[in-house]
Amino acid sequence: MKKSFFAVVLLGLAFGVVANVQTETESLYKEHCSSCHGVERLGGMGPALLPENLSRLRKSKALSVIANGRAATQMPAFEAVLSAEQIAALVEHVYTKPKHKPEWSDQDIEASQIVNFKPKELPAKPVFDADMMNLFLVVELGDHHVTLLNGDTFEPIHRFKSRFALHGGPKYSPDGRFVYFASRDGWITKYDIYNLKVVAEVRAGINTRNLAVSSDGKSVMVANYLPNNLVLFDAESLDLMNVYPVINASGQTSRVSAVYNAPPRNTFIAALKDVKEVWEIPYRSSDTTLTTGNRVAEVRTIEVNDYLDDFFFDPDYKLLIGASRDASGGQVVDLDQGKVTSSIPLPGMPHLGSGITWEYQDKQVLATPNLKEGKVSVIDMSNWEVIKEIQTEGPGFFMRSHEKSPYAWVDVFFGPNKEAVHVIDKSTLEIVKTLRPSPGKTAAHVEFTKDGSKVLLSIWDMDGEVIVYDATTLKEEKRLPMVKPSGKYNVWNKTQYERGTSH
C-alpha cells in the first residue's frame, strides 16, 4: 500500500518535471523564436522548424546555428541570451512533432499568394541577348540564390535570391520563358526569365518535395509531405485549382515523394511514400471546379507490390520503373494495364530518378547509379536483365548524358571518394576517365549544353564552383565561383525531355 503510494507520488513528480521542462521550453520558443519561425513552427521570415523540414540538418548543426547564429542571415546568436541547457532543450523541441498535426488549408494557401505581376503584364520579349533555349539555371543552395547562365558564353546573366532551401529541381514552362521553383517549406515561385522578375508566389504546403508542370503549360502540380496531399495550381496566376488529399481505400494517408509530368499521357504521376499505390491524375483546365467531396474521383490509383518512391519512365511513358527505398529491386509498372509486369534485381538501392537511356548494341538500355553500392547498373529494357554492373569508387547520385555525346557521366556522391566523377563510354560500358577537379570537395551533378558539346559540373561546396568541360576532349575550359551549387538546368534539355537528363 505504502509502496504504491510512493510510486504514484514519484511518477507524478517525474511527469510534473517533464511537463515543466516542456512548458518552459515552449515559452522560451515563444519568447525568442516564434516571431521569425512562427508560433506553430510553420515558418515566417525564418524557415519552418518541424522534424520533417529539418531532416537534412544534423542536431549538432542546429545547436551551433542557435548558439552562434548564421553569418550574413537574420538568424541571431543566442549564446549570450540562453544557457547551454536551454539551447539543447530548444533543439529537442524543434525536432519533436507538434502535439497537433500541422494543417495547411485551402484558405491558408489562398491567403499566402503574392502576385507581383498580373498575367501578360510583362512584355514577352527578353531584356537581354542570348540563345534563350541554351540558358542554364544554377541553384546555389549555400546562400539560397539562383544564377542564370548563358549556355554559349558561360557568362552569368543574373543572380537572384530564392526562397529558403529549394527542393526537387525547378521546372520550365514548355516555351522556356517561365520557371517554377519549389522550396522545402512549400513556397512555389514563378519566375519570368525574359524579364528577370518574380511573377507570383504561393505557399502550397508546409513541407514540399517537388513540382511538375503540365505539357500544355497550363497547370502546376505540387507534391507535399506535409500535409499529405497534392496541390494543383493554375500555371499562369498560381491561383489554387485543386487539392488532392492522399489517402487509400482503407483510410491510410501518405506523404507524396514526388510528382512527375507524363507528356504523351497528359497526366501527372505521383510516387507515394506510405501507401503501396501509384497515382495518376489527368490534366484539367481551370474552368472546371470540383467540390471537396469528389476531389479524389478523378484520380487513377495503381496498386503496386511495394512502397515506390523514386521513378523512371520509358521514353514513351508507357512503363514506369519504380524503386523502393527499403526493399531490394525495381518494379516495372505497365501504366496502360495498370499493374506490375516485371521486377528488376537491383540490390544496391538504385536512384532511378536519375536514370538515363541510350542505344547500346541495338538495344535500348537504362543506366542508373545506386545509393548504397559503388556501381552503375545497366539494364536491357527489352527484358529487364541487368547486362552490366560498372564498378565505381562509391555510391552515386546523379547520372547524365546527351544524345550527341558518346559519354555518360556519374558522380560518386557518397563516401570518401566524393571528389571523383567517372566518365563512361556508352558504346563499351567502360569507365574511360575519372576526374578529380577539386581534391577533397564533393563533385556532383552534371548537365550538358543544348547541343551536347559542353558539360557543366558542380563543386558542391560553400566555396564551390561550376566547371565547364569540353564534352568530347574532356578538357576543362572554365571555372565559375558559386556558393554550394547543386543542380544545373538547361532550358532545351529539360523542355525537350532529352533522354540523357532526368525530368
Q: Where do contacts with ligand HEC occur on this chain (CB under 6 A)?
A: 32-33, 35-37, 45-47, 49, 54, 57, 62, 65-66, 70, 73-76, 78, 90, 94, 144, 164
CB 143, min distance to ligand HEC, A: 7
Distance, in Å, from the CA atom of 229 to the CA atom of 256, rounded to the nearest integer, reads 7
- Residue 180's Cα: distance from chain center in Å? 13
What single DSSP character describes residue 370?
B
Q: Are strands 319-323 and 330-334 parallel, antiparallel or unpaired?
A: antiparallel
CB atoms under 10 Å from CB of 20, counted, come to 10
CB 487, min distance to ligand HEC, A: 19
CB 142, min distance to ligand HEC, A: 9
What single DSSP character describes residue 47?
P
CB 482, min distance to ligand HEC, A: 16
Longest dimension (CA), the chain: 87
Distance, in Å, from the CA atom of 356 to the CA atom of 360, rounded to the nearest integer, reads 12
Q: Which is nearer to ligand HEC, 67 or 381 (CB)?
A: 67
Q: Which is nearer to ligand HEC, 46 or 355 (CB)?
A: 46
Distance, in Å, from the CA atom of 307 to the CA atom of 278, rounded to the nearest integer, reads 9
Distance, in Å, from the CA atom of 46 to the CA atom of 41, rounded to the nearest integer, reads 10
CB 187, min distance to ligand HEC, A: 13
Distance, in Å, from the CA atom of 341 to the CA atom of 345, rounded to the nearest integer, reads 14
CB 105, min distance to ligand HEC, A: 24
Q: Which is nearer to ligand HEC, 195 or 486 (CB)?
A: 486
Scored b (16 or more CB within 10 A) or e, 64-80 reads: bbbbeeeeeeebeebee
Q: Which is nearer to ligand HEC, 141 or 269 (CB)?
A: 141
Which residues does residue 417 pair with via DSSP β-bridges, in sequence order?
A: none
Q: Which is nearer to ligand HEC, 68 or 434 (CB)?
A: 68
Q: Which is nearer to ligand HEC, 34 or 405 (CB)?
A: 34
Helical ranges in 82-122 per DSSP H: 84-94, 106-112
Q: Are strands 187-192 and 178-182 parallel, antiparallel or unpaired?
A: antiparallel
Q: Which is nearer to ligand HEC, 69 or 119 (CB)?
A: 69
Residue with cell string 495503381: 302
CB 47, min distance to ligand HEC, A: 5
